[in-house]
Amino acid sequence: MGKNAEQDLTEVVMNIIINAGNAKSYAMDAIRAAKKFDFEKAEEKYKSAKDSELSAHNAQTSLLAEESNGQGIKLNLLVVHAQDHLMNCITFNDTAREIIDLYKTIKESRG
């Protein structure tokens, strides 16, 4: 793998890490807003979380496409770290959706 390919891989991996981290932060903001029954803000933050998750996922998909085309990537700790961030953001976003909905149910039950 040449220097440009390594730089390209690093850029894609950092894209995954940054977007996945942003997604988790937005999801946490969404939960905090829902806790205050500010569902408009919660939904806005949740949408931002899902948008960031999609950006991270698309970057991961580009790596998977390279791998499936026989252009293997250099597996290193940074790649593993990026995968960890992506998996955690997906799980956290799914959990955030459930928590937001739970706060909506609580608000509705209070009248």
- Could you report the per-residue pLDDT of 22-75, keeping only the tens digit for each? 999 999 999 999 999 999 999 999 999 999 999 999 999 999 998 888 888 888
User: Whole domain around residue 88: which residue ranges?
Assistant: 3-110
pLDDT of 105: 97
Q: How many domains does the chain have?
A: 1
CB-based contacts of 87-93 (< 8 A; 24+ apart in sequence): 88/20, 88/24, 89/20, 89/21, 89/23, 89/24, 89/27, 89/49, 89/52, 89/53, 89/56, 90/53, 90/57, 92/23, 92/24, 92/27, 92/28, 93/23, 93/24, 93/27, 93/46, 93/49, 93/50, 93/53
* Residue numbers annotated as active site: 81
- What confidence tier does 1 reach under pLDDT thresholds 50, 70, 90? very low
pLDDT of 3: 57
pTM here is 0.89
The 10s digit of each residue's pLDDT in 89-107 is 999 999 999 999 999 999 9
CATH code where residue 52 lies? 1.20.58.80
